[in-house]
């Protein structure tokens, strides 16, 4: 049994007296049989006390357990990836595409919960080797249906990638193909997201009914209102976008047009995210860990959102209360699984504390 005291931030609008009365901040909670209760258990014995500022387990809504820069990895490497995320406080992961079968992780009480999007679906020779199903448009509906059944309510498309004929980023799918594919995913109860860097791929995907866009660096004054109107979420992965200049440098000899485009997308990344926020577009945290990027960076991603101009409490919500609601998973509520992180100081005052959790509790057990 655990007794957690301090300031328990159970909701996003916390800090004012009225909010305290409404229950958004609690002074304590208990963990009994792995679940949260706000009622003091009768006859509590052998209780471990933990004190600090408490948040729901953080959410990395774009990572890749079971994947590295070369493709699928073995179970030992996948375990290390998941443990790294867990120790950083990321207890709920949306795996945005992986060729590895990581279902065995679900049986481990000490590893984060994962919501899988199956395996990436890409156009032939239009994505990173060994990552995706590489297919042509006539097969898109069938592959989306298969991955909708394989995943946990999500399917991941590669919406754009470098086109070697033009030497620049280009959309991968004709409109009719994605309309049919997204409709099939929705029929099967799955949501659809897509990797998109460039501008031109966005409007057709949103108009086809897509639910989310990853990275979304190509948002413009023309497409931002469309996203807001349709309620399409974005996961900016700013810690990954920071690598664009290095990628551009490596590829500019062969694809100078693409390299210039990547640098321009990088240069306006904060402006893009702030404009999306101002328009009311839902924004959630994701790191893109597992490809060329290390796991355990969700705290840094929250800090990047703040650097982009998003208020600290909304940046926190993008990694906690709001993200969990979006993914259909509970936070710090009566009877919920005790998945929470404890910090030394108030994360609303300085989100950088997220990178140094005092304690990590998963399924009611102190694991870090």
Predicted pLDDT of residue 24: 85
Task: Report d(CA 63, CA 75) in Å as an integer.
Answer: 16
Instruction: Please give the pLDDT value at position 39.
Output: 94
pLDDT of 14 strictly over 80: no
Q: Is 21 a residue whose pLDDT tops 80?
A: no
What does the alpha-carbon distance between residue 23 and residue 38 come to, in Å, rounded to a whole number? 11
Residue 35 is predicted with a pLDDT of 97
The predicted pLDDT at position 15 comes to 45
| pLDDT (0 to 100) of residue 163 | 96
Alpha-helical regions (H) of the chain: 17-22, 75-87, 140-150, 175-187, 202-207, 224-230, 238-241, 244-251, 256-267, 269-278, 298-307, 312-317, 321-326
Residue with tokens 């209102």: 225
Q: Max alpha carbon distance in the chain (Å)?
A: 72
Tell me the C-alpha distance between 112 and 31, whole Å. 18
Query: In angstroms, rounded to a whole number, what is the distance separating the alpha carbons of residues 319 and 351?
Result: 11
pLDDT the model gives residue 195 = 98
Strands 90-95, 113-116: pairing is parallel
Percent of the chain at pLDDT above 90?
A: 94
Q: Which of 22-26, 44-48, 320-324 has the highest mean pLDDT?
A: 320-324
pLDDT(18) > 90: no
Cβ atoms of residues 247 and 69 within 8 Å: no
The answer to whether residues 244 and 296 touch, using CB atoms and an 8 Å cutoff, is no
Instruction: Average the pLDDT over 232-256 and give the result.
Output: 97
230 pLDDT above the threshold of 50: yes
- How crowded is residue 90: how many other Cβ atoms within 10 Å of its Cβ? 30
pTM: 0.95
**Average pLDDT score over the chain:** 95
- Structure tokens given for 212: 């989310």
Q: For residues 218-241, give the mean pLDDT.
A: 98
- Sign of the alpha-carbon torsion through 209, 215, 220, 225: positive
pLDDT at residue 22 tops 50: no
Please check whether residue 226 is in contact with residue 189, taking contact to mean a CB–CB distance below 8 angstroms: no
**302, 354 contact by CB (below 8 A):** yes
Residue 228 class from Cβ within 10 Å (0-12 exposed, 13-18 middle, 19+ buried)? middle
């Amino acid at each position: 049994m655990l007794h957690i005291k301090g300031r328990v931030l159970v909701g996003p609008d916390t800090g004012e007296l009225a909010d305290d009365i409404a229950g958004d901040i609690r002074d304590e909670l208990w963990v009994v049989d792995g679940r949260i209760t706000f009622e003091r258990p009768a006859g509590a014995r052998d209780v471990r006390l933990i004190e600090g500022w408490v948040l729901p387990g953080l959410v990395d809504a774009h990572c890749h357990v079971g994947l590295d820069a070369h493709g699928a990895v073995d179970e030992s490497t996948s375990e290390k990836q998941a443990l790294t995320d867990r120790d950083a406080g990321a207890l709920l992961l949306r795996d945005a595409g992986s060729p590895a079968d990581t279902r065995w992780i679900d049986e481990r009480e000490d590893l984060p919960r994962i919501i899988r999007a199956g395996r990436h679906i890409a156009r032939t020779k239009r994505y990173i080797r060994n990552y995706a199903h590489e297919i042509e448009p006539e097969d898109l509906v069938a592959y989306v249906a298969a991955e909708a059944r394989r995943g946990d309510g999500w399917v991941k498309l590669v919406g754009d990638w470098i086109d070697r004929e033009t030497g620049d980023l280009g959309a991968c799918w004709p409109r009719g193909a994605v309309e049919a594919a997204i409709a099939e995913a929705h029929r099967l109860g799955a949501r659809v997201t897509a990797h998109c860097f460039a501008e031109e791929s966005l409007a057709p995907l949103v108009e086809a009914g897509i639910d989310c866009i990853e990275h979304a660096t190509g948002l413009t004054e023309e497409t931002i209102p469309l996203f807001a109107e349709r309620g399409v979420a974005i996961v900016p992965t700013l810690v990954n976008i920071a690598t664009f200049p290095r990628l551009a440098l490596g590829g500019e000899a062969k694809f100078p047009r693409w390299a210039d485009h990547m640098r321009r997308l990088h240069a306006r990344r904060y402006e893009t995210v702030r404009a999306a926020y101002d328009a009311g577009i839902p924004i959630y945290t994701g790191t893109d860990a597992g490809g060329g990027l290390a796991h355990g960076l969700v705290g840094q991603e929250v800090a990047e959102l703040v650097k982009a101009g998003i208020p600290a409490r909304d940046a926190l919500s993008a990694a906690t209360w709001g993200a969990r609601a979006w993914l259909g998973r509970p936070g710090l509520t009566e009877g919920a699984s005790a998945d929470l992180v404890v910090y030394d100081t108030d994360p609303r005052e300085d989100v950088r504390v997220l990178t140094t959790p005092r304690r990590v509790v998963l399924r009611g057990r102190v694991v870090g």
